[in-house]
Amino acid sequence: MYCYDQKLQLYEGAGDGARAHRHGIRRITGAGGIVTDVIAEFIAPKAAFVEATSTKVYRGGAPTISFTGDLEHFPIVDVIQLLHSTKKSGILRVASRKGESQLVFKNGCIVSANHLNSSVRIGKILVELNIISQETLSRALQAQFRAGTERKPLIVMLIEWGVVKEGDAYRGLEQLIELTVLEILTWKKGTFTLEVLSSGVSNDHCYYPERISREINVDTQTVLMDSLRIFDEKMRDGELAEKDIPEEEGPAECDPAALHRQKLEEFAPSVTAQEREELAAFLGGFCIARETAGEAPRSMILFSPDRLIGYAVTAVCAPAGITVSVASEEQDLDLIIVKALAGNDVPILVIDAPRQADGRFSPKEISSLRQRKQVHYPNIGIIQLVAPGDATFTLHSYSDGVRAVLPRPSLYERRESYVADTIQFLTAIRVFLMATAFERESFTAGRLKAAITRLANLRDPTKSVARNLLESVAGICERSLILIVHNEELVADKWIGIGGERMGGMGPAPGLRIPLARPSLLSDVIVWGYVYYGPTEDETVWKHLFAAIGPPSRSLVLLLPLRRQGETVALIYGDFGGREAVPLDGGLLEILASQAELVLESALCQQNLAMTVRQEGVDS
């Protein structure tokens, strides 16, 4: 089955198209060559409250964590595209066991990079490209050193001196960024954190150009595609062998608690060294062995500005196979939820306790946010965290329909027992999330299983298989339609939920004909016979199908082929109309399509056999 993360079409050029498919690129070309970002298009219709603008920067120089996650479930290609499409500004820190690399964004453009290899720097690259001499580089670095905190980025200084042209500077910066992205692409596992900064970064090679008059911005989509091209070529030519790609992370040979001490010093400076050591020892106990995760994706999203809680919850849940993403902005929260839902995962949303009388995390704003998420994503479960003893907000949360309310540790209200409370909280939320993960067989999955069973009991499959599939899809989707493949077009036969209430049952769909243009999503599904569930900006779908029945609130569509003797004879179309889309089990959809094909083939074989027997009787 192809879904949101696996197949989007029409990237410029055949080679780039195949590469885009392999790596999940979501930039596609629409009518007139206009390039749109599918993620932004996917979110915008229903979640109008998501503003694709740069993140608010909190003054004071300290970094604000915008969102965090892991590369295993949120690939770096997706992360970079999200930052580009939402015009984020800040430093993206990507870490693995090899070290940390950084990409610096401003309004969605990459303006600098910091490779984990200290020998890969913009100055050295400019020297290797024969743009500047080693003597010029040394003189510039000395000038930077003398300037102290007022120093300018190296590349800007060289431009102002007149020794580097802007075109050459762009070329050097693009190569640095490509090398950094290429390195990150080889990481199978790791974490990422977006830090939003309001002032310069004290690093010679990684800067946030807010106050400088001159910037060199690199097009994010272009550098991403170039990096992927280089990655593919190196893999093809054997320059980047499998052994160069880090294997799965195993147990650390050193004290597991040592992995957490540095972070705790950063995130919990108010607690004593002894308390940090106690908490580090507790977290270190979860690094020894990773437990076996279930087959279904399991994830939680923590909406919180508390860096310590975010880090600690991730540390105890990841070994249990639970993916944790942390966001502190509603815009980022929606992007992560949509990503999870499109990947056939229904996440648990954990919302932190109110922290102040007003602002983003006031009781009023938290309640409002919770209600918005329940309206826009009715299938996700919500857990609300509350301060110790806050009975009023606890009861209010349950009145809003949250799944559970858990007390969270408070450094200010229970200082003496803070570490003990934190350990008890982390233990409880981990156990709760693990138990919840085994309740994931959804109502949708149950209906798909029932549809597979019904196919085996059809009296005349040759006449009723397509309509049975239509009813099965209608049990999941708001709108469904049978499209018969006839010559070079699709002819609508029956539909449910289109032009009337779904409860009205199956009705005729006269007059709707869709030409099979190539290339197109419809043609691909017909030719290759795969089940497709995901967004579409396909011109044929929008120009002919959506023009006739109206587009769904989100352009998520289900295309289920009915095949006979290896050829697709019909498509069963489904979408969610004005409702929120739900994840669908790709494996069950494939089984449903395969079972329908087997039932139809079997019925045709029986008919042919009966005709042969009758003919032999006549001849005798």
pLDDT of residue 64: 58
Using alpha carbons only, what angle is made at residue 153 by residues 151 and 154, rounded to the nearest 5 degrees?
105
The pLDDT value recorded for residue 57 is 27
> In the CATH scheme, what is the code of domain 258-437?
3.40.50.2300
Domain assignments of the chain as residue spans, ordered by start: 56-241, 258-437, 443-611
CATH class of the region 443-611: alpha beta
Look up residue 197 and give its DSSP letter.
Answer: -
Indicate the DSSP class of residue 218. B
How far apart CA 112 and CA 122 sit, in angstroms, is 9
Q: Which residues touch 258 (CB under 8 Å, ≥6 apart)?
A: 252, 280, 284
Q: What is the pTM of this model?
A: 0.56
In contact, 152 and 143? CB cutoff 8 Å: no
Identify the pLDDT of residue 10.
Answer: 28
Predicted local confidence at residue 502, as pLDDT: 52
Which pLDDT does position 481 carry in this prediction? Answer: 93
d(CA 170, CA 293): 45
First to last CA, the chain: 50
Q: Would you tell me the crossing angle of helices 307-317 and 258-267 to the nearest 10 degrees?
A: 160
User: Which of 162, 241, 202 shows the shortest CA–CA distance to 61?
Assistant: 202
Tokens encoding 185: 């692409």
Neighbours of 379 (CB within 10 A): 14
For the purposes of burial, counting CB atoms within 10 Å of the CB of 433, is it exposed (0-12), middle (13-18) or buried (19 or more)? Answer: buried
Residue 349 bridge partners (DSSP): 301, 382
Q: Which residues have CB under 8 Å from 603's CB, separation 6+?
A: 458, 460, 461, 462, 465
The pLDDT assigned to 332 comes to 83
DSSP 6: T
pLDDT number for residue 313: 92
Q: Residue 317 has which token pair?
A: 């849940």
Q: Round the CA-based radius of gyration of the chain to a whole number and report it.
A: 28
Structure confidence at residue 569 (pLDDT): 92
Nearest to 11 by CA among 169, 233, 224: 224
> Averaged in consecutive runs of 10 residues, what is the pLDDT profile of the chain (620 residues)?
34 41 40 31 30 28 64 80 81 85 85 82 88 90 85 83 86 86 82 68 39 54 75 72 46 61 84 89 71 55 90 87 86 82 78 79 90 83 91 91 91 88 92 69 59 73 80 86 92 85 66 87 90 88 92 88 90 87 76 86 81 72
Considering only CA atoms, which of 54, 5, 25 is closest in space to residue 339?
Answer: 5
307 sits in which H/E element: helix 307-317
Q: How many residues does the chain have?
A: 620
Asked if the peptide bond before residue 363 counts as cis, ω within 30 degrees of 0, the response is no
The helix or strand, by DSSP H or E, that contains position 617, with its residue range, turns out to be helix 586-619
What HEC string does 143-182 produce? HHHHHHHHCCCHHHHHHHHCCCCHHHHHHHHHHHHHHHHH
